[in-house]
Amino acid sequence: MGATYFEERIPSNNSALSSTDERRLSKHIHDNVHGNIYLDPLSLKFVDTEQFQRLRDLKQLGLTYLVYPGAVHSRFEHSLGVYWLAGEAINRLKTFQGRELDIDHFDTQTVKIAGLLHDLGHGPFSHMFEREFLPRVLPGLDWSHEEMSLKMIDYVVDEHNIDIDPESLKKVKSFKEKLFLYDIVANGRNGIDVDKFDYLVRDSRACGLGCNFQFQRVFEAMRVIDDEICYRAKEYLTIHKLFATRADLHRTVYTHAKVKAIELMFVDAITNANDTLDISSHIHEPGQYWKLDDTIFKTIETSSDQNLKESRDLLLRIRRRDLYQFCNEFAVPKENMEYFKNVTPQDIVCSQSSSHPTLSEEDIAVSNVKIDLTRGRNNPFKSLKRFLLSLCPCASLSTPDYDSSEKFNIKDELVSHLLPTSYQDRIVRVYSKKPHLVEAVSEAFENFQMKTYGMKTQVHATPEKKKRKQLRSYSLGV
């Protein structure tokens, strides 16, 4: 990301700066999604720390760049984008409802800082580290990157003596009142927030995909009623595109079959390396945690330590595209969703046929994929409030009357019969870690489906050509 900086003298007391003065005293960075992003003096104090700069070495989409070469953007860029959009959102609300909501300078500053620092606690390769690696090496551990972000914020403030108002610091971590401010960055009530606005557009662009969701329209449709951000009823389908775009990215990018194969291999590699590198011991103290980043891949790959040989070999296989072989997948039938339990390698091994070489759990990798519209199996629109669009007599038809205070839910069937009636997919994928076992794993996977559902729920069989190719490769020692 290209950057051009402009800096001027900053007065000692800048708490009451006007927006014009604040921009004049800012630095700006040119972002390839939002254009010029202006960083205010307080935000710069956080950005210019080694803990925040570490985000440059955390890829936003982890190992996805090994399938989508353009997906090399970092959490540094994303965090700046969320900071900027958080400022845009609160300024929009302040313009129309500033007096009514008592939005002051500290509220604006706090929301922006919360957006800037929301991902400070992410580990190497992001969600994979938290959801796949840690549960393996520290089973039962109650740990999340959100909690670590809060610890990291305190650590950065103390370590660098950042002069931030104590009340503002508390609000950065949690809003006890004016809950709508917290919802701007991370909306636990309906899932609509500027974090998603940024990564949907940024990730789509990086992967060369189109994005037909327009967050600008959502900004224009916002209004706070009863401490809750509501949206104009006429933007129902625009908001639906937000959830649909997110689900589509999960299916085509985040959980792409080859992306998951690479992730499974890397998790095996760092799990094997954990005892030697003591990776998991870093997660408890911010002073150690911030030293973990994506360079762990290169650390293992270039090490001469014999204890890391197995991990190095796995990374070499990733480099040479000798991946765990995708055998097949099935979507869990809708009627079985409620009681579904994750499928394990043991489930597949127990379903193998005696006519093939005996499979062990170490030969198989299983990926249980969940794709939804942010609310699991529930309709996200049930927790979303819209407000009535009434018209100002002197305004254009697209101008809402901000004196309107009626909020309500809308049933999907009143909008369109083409909207989904189910809100979650669960997909089970199975991989063979050894090429010559593709046929045996595929057959065991089919047997598992028959035993579990009384039918094969996969769309098609594993291609015979794929099985023969893997057998031939193994016999030639390729």
Instruction: Indicate if the alpha-carbon torsion angle 203, 209, 213, 214 is positive or negative.
Output: positive
What is each CA distance from 309 to 124, 276, 303, 313, in whole angstroms?
A: 21, 11, 9, 6
Q: Which of 120, 228, 129, 226 is nearest to 173 (CA)?
A: 120
Do the Cβ atoms of 302 and 277 come closer than 8 Å? no
Beta bridge partners of 251: none
Angle formed at CA 15 by CA 157 and CA 79, multiple of 5 degrees: 50
Reply yes or no on whether 145 is catalytic.
Answer: yes
At residue 222, what are phi and psi to the nearest 5 degrees?
Answer: -80, 145
> Tokens 């030293």 — which residue?
291
The answer to whether residues 240 and 190 touch, using CB atoms and an 8 Å cutoff, is no
Catalytic site residue from 145, 160, 240, 436: 145
| CA dist 34 → 26, 28, 29, 77, 175 (Å) | 17, 12, 10, 11, 27
| CA dist., res. 372 & res. 153, Å (int) | 31
- Which residues are annotated as catalytic? 145
